Amino acid sequence: MIFAIVVVIGVTIILYRWLVKDKFISLFKDNHFPKKLIVYTIEMIVVVVLLMLMSGTPNGTIYQKLVHMTSFTNVRLQYFFIIISVILAPIVEEFHFRGLIFTYVKKTNNLITALIISSLFFGLAHSLFNPFIFITHAIVAIFIGLARNKSNGIITSIIMHMIWNLLIFLMIL
């Protein structure tokens, strides 16, 4: 799993350098956090809560939900899965979807096109066969993309993505 993460990050960095023609580290420079980012985060949280309430949550104890969610019966593996999902996955995914795809499409087209394309890819990456999950992820990706654009860096989108994943776990548990 670690090897796969390293490969994805490596390929993303190479593609970023090739397509965007800028150093990958530039995503971490000039990050600023205007007040509008708080609004995007609150809107994203409201959307997540409403969508989760509309879909319902699984029944059972916390342990049963973790086993069902992770397919792991080992408690350590379950918590490792949660840590990976809340911390590592958002970093890797944001490098790819907002770092590479969003930045490249915005550079070659415009903001709206970048938001739509990166959000559609984000939704597809999370669910190709479940329309509800696809739409939910695409909507959240729009908020994260707006934050990426407003902050001019990747840090805000990583933090929002971490909040999103944490909210999902909290709603399920």
pLDDT at 68: 64
Q: How far apart are CA 13 and CA 54, in angstroms?
A: 38
User: What confidence score (pLDDT) does residue 64 get?
Assistant: 59
| pLDDT of the residue at 58 | 47
pLDDT the model gives residue 118: 97
pLDDT of residue 111: 97
**Which residue ranges in the chain fall short of pLDDT 70?**
1-2, 32-34, 48, 52-73, 172-173
SS (H, E, C) the chain: CHHHHHHHHHHHHHHHHHHCCCCHHHHHCCCCCCCHHHHHHHHHHHHHHHHHHHHCCCCCCHHHHHHHHHCCCCHHHHHHHHHHHHHHHHHHHHHHHHHHHHHHHHHHCCHHHHHHHHHHHHHHHHCCCCHHHHHHHHHHHHHHHHHHHHHCCCHHHHHHHHHHHHHHHHHHC
